[in-house]
Amino acid sequence: MGVTCNNGSSKFFRRQILTLPVSEIVELSNKLDKDARALKKDILQICWYMRGMDYTAAMHLSTEERKIIGDIIKSNLETTKTSGLPFF
């Protein structure tokens, strides 16, 4: 989350968790882990569908760019279904 940021967000994050009870820190940690896994899954799916985009490049995509690519993938899948042409 704020670990690699240089804009002060890591300091804010540390201050935030210092005031939380342990149970909420564990809950937040679990949520962040779940979010990170979901992001990795989305990135790897993009890499698979885009065939040629490597993982490092895909990790640098913004949220908006990932959504746009996801829309393109969905559109291509729908076109493939309606046309009957092979996708793979």
pLDDT in tens, 24-76: 999 999 999 999 999 999 999 999 988 888 999 999 999 999 999 999 999 98
Q: How confident is the model at residue 14 (pLDDT cuts 50, 70, 90)?
A: confident
Residue 8's pLDDT is 56
Which residue bears the tokens 């804009």?
7
Diameter of the chain measured on Cα atoms: 57
Beta strands in the chain (DSSP E): none
Residue 4 or residue 67, greater confidence: 67
C-alpha distances out from residue 33 to 10, 36, 56, 70, 82, Å:
17, 5, 19, 22, 38
Does 6 score more than 80 pLDDT? no
Is 46 in contact with 58 (CB distance < 8 Å)?
Answer: yes
The answer, as to whether pTM is greater than 0.75, is no
Determine the residue type at 8.
G
